[in-house]
Amino acid sequence: MAARFLGRYARLLFRVTTQAPATRQPPSANRMIGLYGTQCCALVPKRSFCKGGVMAKDKVLTSAPLRTELEEVVEKATVPEEVLKAWEQHGGDSNQATSTLLVWTKLMQKTKGKFQPNSPSLMDARVRDMMETIMKQLPRVWNNNLVAILRALWVIGLPNTDPVLQSTQTEVMWRLRRLNLKQLAFLAECGTVPTWQHDVTIVNAVLKQLELRWTEISDAKTVSMLIAIGQHMSPTLMDRLEDTALALAEGFTTEEIRKVCVSLASMGRRSVPLLRALSYHLLQRPSSEFSTKLILDMGFSYGKLSFHQSQVLKRMVAELMPKVSELTSSDVTRFAKSLGLLKWLHVPLFEAFVEHYLEHSEMYSVLQLCNLLMAFARLNFQSCKGEQFFGKVHPVLESSLSGLEPFLRTDVAWSLCVLQQARPHYLTPLLQQDHAANLSEGSPPRAENYRLKLLHLAATLHLEHPESPETADTSSIMNTVPHTASSSTLSSLQSSLREALHNLVDGRAELYRAGVNTVYGWTIEGELLIDCDNKPFDFSKMRAPHLLGGWGQQTLPAGSRKIAFLAWEFSNFNIKSKDLLGRFSMMKRHLQLAGFILVDVPYYEWLELKTQRQKLAYLKDKIGKAVAEDMAK
């Protein structure tokens, strides 16, 4: 700054002295001023004031540096030995040693796999010579080369006591504030690989720098790289990264979209605005970019985060359909499970999955088959080739079902009950007290879920296989493991339906029951007993085998009917469909077998009723239609 000021002042002084009035000065002084002004004008760079300043240490390269013979040989090398020979013949400075060691490391990984501790290749004199050259001239190593060589030393697995590794890590710590965001992101990504030996201090310092300098992030690649290692970031930084990613979403490549969504799913961060933006831009991509890996990972991400984007799902299914024959058994079960979590049934695709199993059943492990069955059961998918499919499934289950761990075995048997493929000898061992005791382990919600599944298994055996000799003990398990009232609050549909039932019987409590917990593991929103004229009557002393203890002793009078009201919420259906999920389809089947006439009250019909009068008329009409259908049977 002082040099530039002095140069401008000298030039201004020269102009003033040459244009000033003829004031007499000694000749010697005039000559000195003229000489000094001429020299200053020659030294001052000729550039406009609007141009940016040029630092004194900056040098303008008029041509690219010449490539050395070492670089040319190393670039053409295909095996690690060629790299070492090139270094032995030509040598080089620290930056050339860095580049050479990086190429050698890459070729070693490519040809020999992972580095082993105390590998003989690390003791090679030429490798040590490269490391010594780097260590002696570390201050001269460029920043890009410095972070790259630190990564290579972590990959190689040098012990923490090695002087080369220690010197490199110290130099990185000294330069940390001078590294740009891409270099910091690169170090953060490398430092979070669990199988590499990395310095925790450096990684923590890098993460701290990223948190302080997050406003400098301006490209989609860096954002996606940082979000991919988000499990090591602070929640505050992750929030800021998501906001930055939302602003840069248009510039994300397809691969970056995939990485970000998978990372969000693994962390359980359901950032809806970001997911919507990425989904929109993913839809604009051509079909050539919809690879199988992309489709499977996006399906996993959406399923894990319960994020429904119908347009993207339709596009992914359309792109995947022609490739089903090329999928592996793992791909099929993974995508089927993702769609099951999303409650999205695409019948042609699932039929293609069944066909894939029929053609490649030997490729499927027992665990993959179990996952496929559970996905089918969740969506209540009944294949048109079900007989052929289960003809291959049952022999596998006969030999392997007893060897599964208790929770998985219960899930598979429950799925078979949903699909109406459960055989009595599958269920009987699961209804023993020792098995029920195993399922009581874990968190209370999980134990409650499996307790209900045991009741459903017992109900299946009792109601769907009454003639089987193994059904005799099902009543004991249903009475031993009773269905208790749910602690969750009532939804608006449930509360308004119960209120309407109360008004339907004019508030007479002995004429109806609300929130009935049955021994079968199902809850009925309301229950009525009606006579032959469809009039409710008192059933407080009537037998009720669906209730714990059976209640009264009187049998139902001739012509009477049991009415069960079922409230169906939005979450009980498949997405974009009026078909119930498998769990609730099994519920309807069990209650019908238990002697109930069912009155379905779906949310999409009930929400259209605004007044109590409309609701009462709706319930009476539904009761009449249900009774008429039962009489027609």
Q: Closest by alpha carbon to 237, among 267, 260, 215, 261?
A: 215
Do residue 627 and residue 522 come from a single domain? yes
Do residue 475 and residue 593 come from a single domain? no
pLDDT digits (tens, 9 = 90+) for 238-289: 999 999 999 999 999 999 999 999 999 999 999 999 999 999 999 999 999 9
Residue that terminates a domain, selected from 434, 458, 480: 480
- What pLDDT sits at residue 327? 95
Cα gap 88→270, rounded to integer Å: 54
Do residue 628 and residue 497 come from a single domain? yes
- What pLDDT sits at residue 470? 63
Given a contact cutoff of 8 angstroms between Cβ atoms, the answer to whether 424 and 471 are in contact is yes
- What pLDDT sits at residue 552? 66
pLDDT digits (tens, 9 = 90+) for 458-487: 999 999 988 876 665 555 566 555 555 555
Number of domains present in the structure of the chain: 3
- What pLDDT sits at residue 40? 43
Letter string b/e over residues 390-420, b meaning 16 or more CB atoms within 10 A of that residue's CB: beebeeebeebbeebebbebbbbbbbbbbbe
Cα gap 102→152, rounded to integer Å: 6
- What pLDDT sits at residue 483? 55
- What pLDDT sits at residue 32? 42
Given a contact cutoff of 8 angstroms between Cβ atoms, the answer to whether 227 and 241 are in contact is yes
Given a contact cutoff of 8 angstroms between Cβ atoms, the answer to whether 481 and 521 are in contact is no
> What is the residue range of 2's domain?
1-22+37-45
Do residue 431 and residue 463 come from a single domain? yes
Do residue 549 and residue 436 come from a single domain? no
- What pLDDT sits at residue 550? 66
Given a contact cutoff of 8 angstroms between Cβ atoms, the answer to whether 508 and 482 are in contact is no
Helix, strand, coil % (nearest 5) of the chain?
Answer: 65, 5, 30
Do residue 511 and residue 462 come from a single domain? no
Do residue 474 and residue 511 come from a single domain? no
Q: Is 361 within a domain? A: no
Do residue 452 and residue 553 come from a single domain? no
Q: Give the residues of the chain that fall short of pLDDT 70.
A: 1-66, 116-118, 194-198, 469-488, 550-552
Q: Is 128 within a domain? A: no
Residue that terminates a domain, selected from 458, 480, 502: 480
pTM above threshold 0.85: no
Phi, psi at residue 601, to the nearest 5°?
-125, 85
Q: Closest by alpha carbon to 223, among 192, 193, 194, 259?
A: 259
Q: How many CB atoms lie within 10 A of CB 358?
A: 14
Cα gap 631→628, rounded to integer Å: 5
In what helix (H) or strand (E) does residue 596 lie, and over which residues does it extend?
Answer: strand 596-602
In what helix (H) or strand (E) does residue 437 lie, and over which residues does it extend?
Answer: helix 433-439
Q: Is 61 within a domain? A: no
Helices and strands of the chain, counted as H and E runs? 29, 4
Cross-strand bridge partners of residue 565 = 526, 599
Cα gap 328→341, rounded to integer Å: 20
- What pLDDT sits at residue 87? 87
Q: How many CB atoms lie within 10 A of CB 310?
A: 11
Q: Is 451 within a domain? A: yes
Given a contact cutoff of 8 angstroms between Cβ atoms, the answer to whether 82 and 95 are in contact is no
Q: Is 41 within a domain? A: yes
Q: Is 106 within a domain? A: no
**DSSP one-letter code for 308:** -
Do residue 599 and residue 548 come from a single domain? yes
Q: Is 497 within a domain? A: yes
Torsion-angle region of 108 (φ positive above 0: left; ψ -120 to 50: alpha; else: beta): alpha
Do residue 505 and residue 613 come from a single domain? yes
Do residue 496 and residue 626 come from a single domain? yes
Q: Is 221 within a domain? A: no
- What pLDDT sits at residue 75? 82
Do residue 463 and residue 500 come from a single domain? no
